[in-house]
Amino acid sequence: GGEGGARDGPEKGTGSAVVAGPCHIEEKMDGVRVFTGQVPLALPEDPSFLSPLRVFLRRHVAAFSATADDVAVRLAHNAQSTVRIGQVGFACVHCLGTSPGDRSNRAVCFPATLERLYQSVADVQRFHLQECAAMPPDAKAEMTRLQADSAKGSRGLSTRQYWIDAARVLGMRNGPAGIYFGREPGVPKGCTVAGDGAGIPLLSASPTSGIERLDVIEQRKRNRGDEALDVSLVNPEDRPDIAEFLYVVMDQLRPCKFTDADRNKRRSKNLGTIGVECKHCAHVITGRKFFWSSISAAESNFVSVHQHMMKCQHIPEHLRDEIGRLKELRREQTAALPSGSQKAFFTKVWHRLHGEDAPAFFPTEDAGRELAVPVLSSSPPPSSGAPPPG
């Protein structure tokens, strides 16, 4: 069989390879039927599960089937090369249309398995894209900006698993002689992009398509399907007892769990640790989560929640303006409330979050403050001036 779809350069302004021409079926490779062609790595789901820099990278790399020329060039540089005709390689979309012998340094890689795909394509970014003469200047400037803004640290096992699952959705499989296309490259017509009701996009396959869904998305959906997370952090009865600013900002949060995708060098918790996340950006991989160790930590670090709300690109502008207005009124409103009201509010939120009964609060007339007294029975609270029993 011959080479699959034509290797045109990237369509102007898209950063993705143009996939044209028919898909061909090669003769069986070690008993496995192999399809040939090419397909961009980018998927609509990428921004929900990858950093902006990795999303950019997937837009500028395509998978393709090796030809006789590809094999010859590899052998010329390395006599021990095991690349075979029909094996899937990954290339800079700006160099894919050039002759294999004319491509610049590290423009192409041939990982042996899907499990090595993530690191191999990351090497294309590291060693080739920054020096790629064919990449448009505006794309190179965008990459430089994203590299500067990129959060340090790994996103954990989920990131690598996403690359594996996404490759499978595009038709790639592990074979005895490297990666190959087990069907026509691309997202099949039987698959559609849909939501799961919680802002998470899914690849839905028709019952007869035989196409797997993105496993990492299913895992994330399960992580967020716990009944313990289906609680509201604030209730209407809280409103009279707290500054409106605190109520509104807390209402923009919802419970979450610490997952593999949250692991990085700066933060490591036990899987399943309960925290909160911004409702508005929870559907993207860069969504903000907060994991408080205690009630006092939640209260003292709440300023970081407000700072996020004022910068979050997914919060409606009118809501951001309202939060800013309410912050100006916070001091005045707090001064009019009984002392201890704020601590009481954060205690209620903490216990709702962790499924515990919140303690009752009884104002003490002589102390001018409130004491937290857990309600253990129906007996009335002790008088603040009464001597200790016994």
CB distance 70 to 89 below 8 Å? yes
Q: Which residue has the tokens 């209407």?
A: 236
Residue 26 predicted with pLDDT over 90: no
pTM above 0.85, yes or no: no
Write down the residue that tokens 């700006």 correspond to.
Answer: 94
pLDDT of residue 317: 95
pLDDT at 9: 40
Q: Give tens-digit pLDDT for 294-346.
A: 999 999 999 999 999 999 999 999 999 999 999 999 999 999 999 999 999 99
**Better pLDDT: 220 or 194:** 220
Distance CA 159, CA 169 (A): 15
Angle at 343 between CA 340 and CA 346, to 5 degrees: 150
Higher pLDDT residue, 370 or 234? 234
Quick check: 13 pLDDT over 80? no
Handedness of CA 140, 141, 144, 146 (dihedral sign): negative
**What number of residues does the chain have?**
390
Instruction: Render pLDDT for 68-79 as a digit per residue (tens, 0 to 9).
Output: 999 998 888 876
Give the pLDDT score at 234. Answer: 94
DSSP 151-201: PSS---HHHHHHHHHHHHHTTEEEETTEEEESSSSS--TTEEEEE-SSS-E
What are the pLDDT digits (tens) for 335-380?
999 999 999 999 999 999 987 664 544 443 333 333 333 332 333 4
